[in-house]
Amino acid sequence: MNVLILMGSPRLQGNTAELCKPLMEEFRTQGASVYYMTLADKKIAPCVGCYACQEVAGEYGCVCKDDMYAVVEGIQWADLIVFATPIYAWYCATPMKKVLDRHYGLNKYYGSAEGSLWAGKKVAILATHGYDGAYATDPFEMGMQRLCKHSNLEYLGLYSVQDEDNLASFRTEAAVEGAKEFARKLLK
């Protein structure tokens, strides 16, 4: 299986990146091909809402010719896309939100073009957060579940760990084993 991990924290060596390590390790141990892509260091403009992508069939078709095209290439290669993000203001952090908004050209719902460039792909969430569990992650998870339904993607679930002591929280046996177990579950 081809797995794309989109790491959306502004901190490239922060908590979310730390929790991605055991997840990736286990994916590879289980024989998956993994592509880890950080978003904060990419040039990705916010969606301008022009709907031009809805008139372009068979390709992404966004007028913003930036690094989102590399993300789209990764998405098209992947069987499973893991959205890894810290929770910021009860949702994902900005680098990931820009990618989510720019998904429009992957669905051709609102213009002359038809079809989808990503229907049927599997999606999962890896999150880190300051507040406890579902209280922190529910709004983002609900948004992603709705996006998946809207886009005909298969939502597989979420694994998250609370930030109680910065990096140390994500290096505990429970956090590491939890991430590995989640990876095995996603590959089933």
Under the binding rule (CB under 6 A), the answer on residue 42 touching ligand FMN is no
Pick from 31, 49, 65, 89 the residue near ligand FMN by CB under 6 A: 89
Q: Which residue, 123 or 126, is less far from ligand FMN as judged by CB?
A: 126
Residues 6+ apart with CB under 8 A from 24: 5, 34, 36, 183
Residues 6+ apart with CB under 8 A from 117: 59, 60, 72, 75, 76, 105, 106, 107
Q: How many residues bind ligand FMN (CB under 6 A)?
A: 16
Ramachandran angles phi, psi of 127, nearest 5°: -130, 150
Under the binding rule (CB under 6 A), the answer on residue 160 touching ligand FMN is no
Our measurement of the distance from residue 1's CA atom to the centroid of its chain's CA atoms, rounded to an integer in Å, reads: 16
Query: Contact region for ligand FMN (CB under 6 A) — 47-55, 62-70, 126-134, 173-181?
Result: 126-134
Q: Which residue, 27 or 140, is less far from ligand FMN as judged by CB?
A: 140
Pick from 1, 35, 69, 90 the residue near ligand FMN by CB under 6 A: 90
Residues 6+ apart with CB under 8 A from 21: 179
Nearest to 122 by CA among 179, 84, 77, 79: 79
Q: Which residue has the tokens 């007028």?
A: 63
Q: Minimum CB separation from ligand FMN for residue 169, in Å?
A: 8
Structure tokens at 135: 């209280």
Which pairing describes strands 33-38 and 2-7: parallel, antiparallel, or unpaired?
Answer: parallel
Query: Contact region for ligand FMN (CB under 6 A) — 88-96, 99-107, 115-123, 179-187?
Result: 88-96
Q: Minimum CB separation from ligand FMN for residue 22, in Å?
A: 15
Q: Which residue, 94 or 107, is less far from ligand FMN as judged by CB?
A: 94
Which positions lie near ligand FMN, rule CB under 6 A?
9, 11, 14-16, 86-90, 128-131, 136, 163
